[in-house]
Structure 1
Amino acid sequence: MIEISEEVMKQLFWTAGLIVISTVVILFEKLWWKPHRIRSVLEKQGIKGPKPSFPLGNVSEMKNLQPQPPSNSDVKEAWVYSIFPYFHIWKQRYGPLYLYSTGTKQHLYVEKGALVKDMAAHMAPDLGRPLYLNQALEPIFGDGVLRANGKTWVYQRNVIIAELFMSKIKKMLYSMEDSAMEIVKKWDKSIEENKGKTVDLVIEHDLKVLSEDILSKACFGSNYGEGKHVFERLGAMQTKLGTTSTLLGFFNLSFLSINGNKEVWRMKKEVDVLITKMINDREIQNKNKNDDEKPNDLLQKIIESSKRDTTLNEKGFFKTKYDMNQLTIDLCKNIYFAGSESTALATTWALWLIASYPEWQQRLRSEILEAFDYKLPHSFCEDGKLQKLKLLTMVIQESFRLYGPAVTNSRETFADMKFGDLLVPKGTYLWMFVPALHRDTDNWGPDAAEFKPERFANGLSKACKYPQAYIPFGFGSRNCLGQNFTMTEIKIALSLLLYHFSFEVSPDYRHCPVSNMLLIPKYGIRLLVTRLNHIKK
């Protein structure tokens, strides 16, 4: 038997004691001191909120609160108060700026245009994406541009931004038009099969295929068929991860289960393999080509940047070549997701609104016919034609305001920060509920909940008091890099559809927007589609 000397025993005792004390200090700091400090700083500035309880904060109350829409609200607006009912209820109790907790996380809810304006003025990296959400959504986004912070985000932004200038997008117009005409032909065929009569169509799937096809051609040099498996798996992961209550900071039990977790990570691996194959195939194609013979698309730019910027390892950007390879894959995944899913939903909601307001539909059609003089398709590349569609731009902007795909926008403070007169401590999570912020009567006026595209007649700067609080594409330095691409795609799609068809909301349509990462129609969008008389068969 080995004897341990008294001296060794003392050393082991003190070592164990130090470990215990260190653990207690770390837990004390994380579980009590840090949350207490954040709450104390904010409460001293007059910010109130529901009282948290240990250890879940306000999670129990969040789960139990039921929607309480205002008595004077339109029935079509009930969804705004049902998606996250606690946001509205607490606003009624504590005002448009309040504090709440999920576990040890301290959240500041913001529904004040002036404060969003001050937040938008701050540059990264001190105000970035919440780290705990990045971990929760890692399978679908990885460290891609949508969730990245710091140098990793800057690198990806610089890779993408030059490829999405209008000068580059103009070269994609024919491709966008060709994709949109496929949907026109499909819907026209449905009408033809119905003996030329009006048809009742569920539109969102076709518009999703349209966006996916445009993105695949414009950015990756492929088509919807080749990218189909990537889109399908990203959509499945969105459905799976979208059921988790990320706002609470906890996964639901189905995701914590072994099978749920394994399924998401299996799909993540499959997407990574598919994108890796796409990158490898492109590199093989490029082997014997001169630079001017290589494709001029976003995928090529990403590949070239990844090869050129491996030297960034020495500057501390990436630790290994694997990190660089994975970052390239993550960036492609983010482009696939943001460039297709969000745009498809934006087009879907815009077309539903156009169908809901016949007078605006007729005004848009008249504008399109005047701009293109019955020469669609094949007229979008004529100088300035798309820019002349002022009414269509206004309608799209109003659609983004009322039914933008983004449901929430969040930030984490990585340092103590000051927004106007408000001091926000490091480690605070700031949350904006976009549908409510876009219906804020203090910013948009008493008709904020109404569909009135004319509010944008003189541009965004004149549409409301705080234009910085119009955030369908995010805000500040983290504004969506692809918004010009998105707006152009939506304009082309809606122009062609309104040129060929008239639309009414189907009597079978059920209005129920819900959140699944993005704002989706729970029961689909059903429209009555009629071929216009000037379209000859």
Structure 2
Amino acid sequence: MMILVTVILGGLFVLAFHALVALFLKPRLTRESLRTQGIYGPFPHFFFGNVPEMKSLLQEVHDQSRSQPEASPICHRWPFTLFPHLPKWRNQYGPICLYYRGSKPFLMVQDTEMVKEGMVDLMVESTNTMVRKWEARIDHNEKAVAEIKIDEDLRSLSADIIAKACFGSSYEKGQEIFTKLRFIQKLMSKSTVGIPGLRYLPTRSNREIWALDKEISSMIKRLVNQRLMVGNKQDLMQMIMEGATKCNEDGGGDDLLSNPISRDKFIVDNCKNIYFAGQETTAITVSWALMLLAEHQDWQDRCRAEVLQVCGNGTFDATMLRSLKTVTMVIQETLRLYPPATFVIRSALQDIKLKRISIPKGMNIQIPIPLLQQDPELWGPDANMFNPQRFANGIMEACKTPQAYLPFGIGARICAGQHFAMAELKVILSLILLRFQFSLSSSYRHSPAFRLVIEPGEGVVLMVRRI
């Protein structure tokens, strides 16, 4: 009996020691190490880190917004209302500061010095299907105008394009996958507190996420197996399989495609990334772009005139897309004001030096994209305003430091699908501009929301007329 008690007490002592190191000693040593280099930050709670202060600041912003009149003008300074802790801490502690989400340290960096053509036909085909649905809704209205909440239509459109590009299937085949991924996104966006190990605990939310993830993996495997039976096709699935082969050639070992377990994991993981990143972010960017063009009729007219000149008959190819300079400027400005990704995060896998700062192993380096992309010191006094003209001479001339523009990420992990996404954005916007004139509905409420990506919280509602 005494031996059992001794073992239990010993185990408890070891757990207590590790908890002491993780929750007290390690964070303190990290803070002291960075303080000696002139890097400061808010003092963290021993268990929750700085999350309580972040929540308190967010609540203050919400209380203030409730006191504002409902018909307030559209403002693009949403980063300062969704993430009020970032500008506050920058003002207090400088462009580089340390804070904690639970026990997880983040080095917030706002110092800018540290920081395939083709498939156009299927994009046109899918977009024309959506366009015909909008035309039908307008034709059934006596006033020849329809109020359309565009968000779900654009998600369906983007999903259809990705499904066809990846598997050659229609959106209906992958509809359940997209629905489940969307639900996972909503569940994950609610989990903000960085409590150590929370994502491994069998909470109700985690159990739902695990079950959905298992279902999605099985569904993708079935689609993959159907695709493999077709043979070689020039689509994204073929590129993924070739990627598996290249991993073998570069890294040695068994060919991933000859090992069913490794092959399935590689393909399923990549398909998940394509489904989510390719569908959600593109659809949201189109929603924001149409909202901005609806608000700024002069830019809508300029874009439409260009599209009529370049591809007035509704046919597109890669060469034509490259000629859409004004549309490209609008897309770039949309991505500046409403970037799909909110942060670039990198983990230090070992002790490193960054701009003469010693960063310890395990530190998370966080770059807040929206704040950099709306910094008046970099973009000028109109940094919070919609002005596509700033991109007239390209990204290199748009701001003082081009590295401050990073809607697709930066470095070795920059979004691999950015060229596909830009082509898709140009095709969708061009076909809509050719067929419709649109303005904001009086029921539209500007409400950017953070749900892993920045999306219109209450959707985008347009009054749409046929041209």
Question: TM-score by structure 1 length?
Answer: 0.78
- Report the structure number with the largest CA radius of gyration: 1
The match for 1:245 is: 192
Match of 1:54 among 46, 63, 68: 46
The alignment status of 1:43 with 2:35, answered yes or no, reads: yes
Distance 1:74 1:80, change over 3 A: farther
Paired residues of 2:50 and 2:100 also in contact (CA < 8 A): yes
Distance 1:368 1:78, change over 3 A: closer
Alignment of 1:462-501 (within 5 A): 462-501=397-436
The alignment status of 1:199 with 2:137, answered yes or no, reads: no
Question: TM-score by structure 2 length?
Answer: 0.89
Paired residues of 1:306 and 1:325 also in contact (CA < 8 A): no
Q: Aligned partners of 2:430, 2:256: CA distance in 1, in Å? A: 44
Match of 1:413 among 348, 358, 361: 348
Match of 1:274 among 192, 196, 219: 219
Q: Aligned partners of 1:177, 1:108: CA distance in 2, in Å? A: 43
1:47 is displaced (CA, Å) by: 1.4
Match of 1:265 among 170, 186, 210: 210
Paired residues of 1:513 and 1:519 also in contact (CA < 8 A): yes
The match for 1:437 is: 372
Q: Aligned partners of 2:300, 2:51: CA distance in 1, in Å? A: 44
What's the secondary structure of 2:142's corresponding residue?
A: coil
What's the secondary structure of 1:464's corresponding residue?
A: coil
Q: Aligned partners of 2:9, 2:217: CA distance in 1, in Å? A: 46
1:335 is displaced (CA, Å) by: 0.8
Letter aligned with residue 192 of structure 1: D
Alignment of 1:130-529 (within 5 A): 165-166=116-117, 170=118, 172-195=119-142, 197-245=144-192, 248-249=194-195, 258-286=203-231, 294-303=232-241, 305-306=243-244, 314=253, 322-372=261-311, 374-376=312-314, 378=315, 380-381=316-317, 384-529=319-464
Q: Aligned partners of 2:147, 2:439: CA distance in 1, in Å? A: 9
Moved more, 96-105 or 73-82: 73-82
**Residue segments in structure 1 that go unaligned for 5+ positions in a row:** 117-164, 287-293, 533-537
Q: Aligned partners of 1:305, 1:472: CA distance in 2, in Å? A: 25
Letter aligned with residue 138 of structure 2: I
Q: Aligned partners of 1:249, 1:442: CA distance in 2, in Å? A: 36
What is the RMSD computed on CA atoms of the aligned residues?
Answer: 3.1
Distance 1:75 1:179, change over 3 A: closer
Q: Aligned partners of 2:267, 2:368: CA distance in 1, in Å? A: 31
Paired residues of 1:244 and 1:251 also in contact (CA < 8 A): no
1:38 is displaced (CA, Å) by: 2.1
Moved more, 276-285 or 207-216: 276-285
1:13 is displaced (CA, Å) by: 11
What is the aligned residue count? 457
Any idea what the Cα deviations from partners look like across 1:322-368, whole Å, max 9, x if unmatched?
34422321111111111111111111111111111011111111111
Letter aligned with residue 37 of structure 1: L
What's the secondary structure of 1:411's corresponding residue?
A: strand
What's the secondary structure of 2:49's corresponding residue?
A: coil
Paired residues of 2:79 and 2:371 also in contact (CA < 8 A): yes
Letter aligned with residue 180 of structure 1: T
Any idea what the Cα deviations from partners look like across 1:126-172, whole Å, max 9, x if unmatched?
xxxxxxxxxxxxxxxxxxxxxxxxxxxxxxxxxxxxxxx22xxx2x1
Q: Aligned partners of 1:188, 1:251: CA distance in 2, in Å? A: 51
1:281 is displaced (CA, Å) by: 1.5
What's the secondary structure of 2:138's corresponding residue?
A: helix
1:308 is displaced (CA, Å) by: 7.7
Paired residues of 1:196 and 1:531 also in contact (CA < 8 A): no
Q: Aligned partners of 1:303, 1:455: CA distance in 2, in Å? A: 41
Letter aligned with residue 523 of structure 1: E
Q: Aligned partners of 1:16, 1:200: CA distance in 2, in Å? A: 67
**Residue segments in structure 2 that go unaligned for 5+ positions in a row:** none
1:257 is displaced (CA, Å) by: 6.4
Letter aligned with residue 442 of structure 1: E
Q: Aligned partners of 2:418, 2:338: CA distance in 1, in Å? A: 16
Letter aligned with residue 296 of structure 1: Q
Letter aligned with residue 396 of structure 1: I
Letter aligned with residue 189 of structure 1: A
Distance 1:322 1:492, change over 3 A: same
| Residue identity (%) | 37
Letter aligned with residue 494 of structure 1: L
Any idea what the Cα deviations from partners look like across 1:255-277, whole Å, max 9, x if unmatched?
96643332222211111111111
Letter aligned with residue 295 of structure 2: S
Distance 1:433 1:67, change over 3 A: farther
Any idea what the Cα deviations from partners look like across 1:438-459, whole Å, max 9, x if unmatched?
1111211221111111111111
1:205 is displaced (CA, Å) by: 0.8
1:184 is displaced (CA, Å) by: 1.1
Paired residues of 2:77 and 2:384 also in contact (CA < 8 A): no
Distance 1:90 1:225, change over 3 A: same
The match for 1:81 is: 80
What's the secondary structure of 1:346's corresponding residue?
A: helix
Any idea what the Cα deviations from partners look like across 1:206-247, whole Å, max 9, x if unmatched?
11111111111112211111111111111111111111116x
Paired residues of 1:514 and 1:522 also in contact (CA < 8 A): yes
